[in-house]
Amino acid sequence: MQIGDLAQRTGITPSRIRFYERIGLLKSVKRQDNGYRSFSMGAIQAVKLIVAGQRAGFSLAELRTLVPDEVEYFDHASLRDTLLGRVKDIEEFQNQLAVSRSALLELLGEIESNSLASRALPGACQPT
């Protein structure tokens, strides 16, 4: 299949596909006698994996290690383990964010309480 067909089937632009090839994410690209790129049907799965991986927060360097040279020969167990690891990382980050959020809300509550208290007390020190 040619680049236009791959672009249409995956919903990304031909220039994006060329970029993925140039940086080594799409490795099994063949050239026809006329110089046109020729992609296997596995390239559809590879491009979809790359796009989904980017949306999930994987860097292009990380994706380079995940996308095999021949998509038909995926190491599914390794890919699954990597994805589960990323889910765990996200969950840990969410927990850290929740702790940070709670600390900020507590601080805001203290600031608001002190601000109200200082306004309510006659002769309280006012910030300058």
Taking only the tens place, the pLDDT of each residue in 34-58 is: 888 888 888 888 899 899 989 988 8
Q: Does 126 fall in a domain?
A: no
Q: Does 9 fall in a domain?
A: yes
Residue-by-residue DSSP string for 43-98: HHHHHHHHHHHHHTT--HHHHHHHS-SSGGG--HHHHHHHHHHHHHHHHHHHHHHH
Q: At 56, which CATH number?
A: 1.10.1660.10
Residues of the chain with pLDDT under 50: none
Instruction: Name the domain count of the chain.
Output: 1
Q: Which residue has the tokens 């990323």?
A: 86
Q: Does 69 fall in a domain?
A: yes
pLDDT of amino acid 119: 64
Query: CB-hemisphere CA count at 13 Å for 60?
Result: 9
Q: Does 95 fall in a domain?
A: yes
Q: Does 127 fall in a domain?
A: no
pLDDT tens figures, 84-95: 988 999 999 999
Domain that holds residue 102: 3-120
